[in-house]
Amino acid sequence: MTGSQAAERRERILGAAVRQRLLDPDDAVLAAFVDLDGVAASVEALHRAFPPSVQALHAFAAKANCLVPVLEELRTHGMGCEAASPGELAQALAAGFAPERIVFDSPAKTRADLDRALALGVAVNVDNFQELSRVDEILAVRSSTSRIGVRINPQVGSGDIAAMSTATATSKFGIPLEDDGNRERLLDAYRDRPWLTWVHAHVGSQGCPLDLIAQGIAKAVTFAEKVNSDLGRRQVIGIDIGGGLPVNFGSDEPTPTFDEYVARLQAHAPALFSGYFQVVTEFGRSLLAKNGFTAAYVEYTKTSGGRPIAITHAGAQVATRTVFMPEAWPLRITAHDPAGALKHEDVVPQDIAGPCCFAGDLIAQARPLPRLAPGDIVALLDTGAYYSSTPFHYNSLPDPAVHGVRIDADGNVRFRLLRPAETAQHVLARTGGWIRAHPTGPGAP
């Protein structure tokens, strides 16, 4: 899809949303949209990128969009699911994923978390030696059908965004492969545990170049080969290579592509494609980000210090990373009239501010856009992952509705509610209001 086609599609969706009052200046001032046709195309591109020689389970990283209907949609397209918390595991199960198609990756699993995952038969990636001891204790009293592996840190370095780089020398994730004695200790761990049959590595995501990611995966493959060689048996049968394909937030172009990612893997880790190892991937942002946007009404406009400011209903509560780390997470913004049509007037540098009660709640500063007026709509692009699906409850602002969208061959826009908008009663319920309403209920003194 070209940039102009993508822009036309968003404009069509916005117009339909306004007509159907999914966006309304009184009742629905903020809403998010997930293009389900685009999601299907992205999943197809991922599956197509890996050659038939690879027996691969592509597990969607639930953290990227944990809405159960979204996970369910991905399941229907042949995806598995990666969960990094007990909540995400519950969401994956609620979305209908079979346990053997779920990977549990939390770096802080409790004994209860491990016990449940192993009882279900969910794949488990062990983060550290202490966690491995807990797994020993559980398996000493009962068996499990779970695929169990160890997450190693290949320690290949950082990308441009340190917070998104998980294979640095001091990363909190996994067992650092190059620290003194760890390689030998890991080999002993596999030797003593025939049920330890997988290796997991994840280098990072946004800001990480493809060659850095591929170099980290190559070290994981080399380690798996050494385990099998030293043990004289094919014990490690699979490599979980994580996800982390960066997203281009600067245009509608979906770059880098899954094909480019696989080409770098083939260059750095050709053994991954030999058919000797099964493969699990854990992509998230790269499947969803460009297939969604967030729309908000402009409530007021003003000028301060000579600069125009548009006060909108989209701020830190739905664009947390952009507000707090704007240099690392800039978003494209488009300006629309009250009917959803793109505005084409001469552009003016203006601040796009959110509704949160702190001065830094800015989506963009001095952004050249057609001059906005009250009642206009701004669209925050590439927000299908992480943004509205994982809101920040500052000022007790309600979570916005999230709508799935499809456009049929005749151009008809059809919406599917993925998450309803919160009401004041919902906000009260999640902030303890139920205790006041039900003083003798659970938790009452």
Q: How confident is the model at residue 437 (pLDDT cuts 50, 70, 90)?
A: low
Q: Per-residue pLDDT for 445 more than 80?
A: no
Residue 329 has what pLDDT?
94
Q: Per-residue pLDDT for 444 more than 60?
A: no
Residue 206 has what pLDDT?
85
CB 230 within 8 A of CB 180: no
Average pLDDT for residues 269-289, to the nearest whole number? 97
Per residue, what are the HEC states of 102-135? Answer: EEECCCCCCHHHHHHHHHHCCEEEECCHHHHHHH
The span from the CA of 341 to the CA of 9, in Å, is: 11
Q: What is the pLDDT of residues 295-323, one digit of tens each?
A: 999 999 999 999 999 999 999 999 999 99
Average pLDDT for residues 119-135, to the nearest whole number? 98
Which residue in the block uniquely carries the two structure tokens 């001091």? 170
The residue type found at 409 is A
What residue ranges do the domains of the chain occupy? 3-35+289-430, 36-284
Share of the chain above pLDDT 70, in %: 98
Average pLDDT for residues 19-23, to the nearest whole number? 98
Average pLDDT for residues 395-414, to the nearest whole number? 97
Q: What is the pLDDT of residues 155-175, one digit of tens each?
A: 888 888 888 778 788 888 899
Residue 442 has what pLDDT?
52
Q: What is the pLDDT of residues 331-386, one digit of tens each?
A: 999 999 999 999 999 999 999 999 999 999 999 999 999 999 999 999 999 999 99
Average pLDDT for residues 10-23, to the nearest whole number? 97
Residue 263 has what pLDDT?
97
The span from the CA of 368 to the CA of 370, in Å, is: 7
Q: Phi/psi at 421 (nearest 5 deg)?
A: -65, 140
The span from the CA of 426 to the CA of 335, in Å, is: 31
pTM: 0.94
Residue 3 has what pLDDT?
73
Q: Per-residue pLDDT for 387 more than 60?
A: yes
CATH class name, domain 3-35+289-430: mainly beta
Q: What is the pLDDT of residues 192-248, one digit of tens each?
A: 999 999 999 999 888 888 999 999 999 999 999 999 999 999 999 999 999 989 999
The residue type found at 383 is T
Would you tell me the crossing angle of helices 182-192 and 129-139 to the nearest 10 degrees? 10
Let me know if domain 36-284 sits in CATH 1.10.760.10.
no
Cα three-residue angle 91-161-242, rounded to 5 degrees? 40
φ/ψ region of 232 (left if φ > 0, alpha if ψ in -120 to 50, else beta) reads left
Report which of 402, 285, 307 is spatially closest to residue 364, judged by C-alpha positions.
Answer: 307
Q: How many CA atoms lie within 13 A of 445 on its CB side?
A: 1
Q: What is the pLDDT of residues 54-103, one digit of tens each?
A: 999 999 999 999 999 999 999 999 999 999 999 999 999 999 999 999 99
Q: Which residues contact 112 (CB under 8 A, 6 or more apart)?
A: none
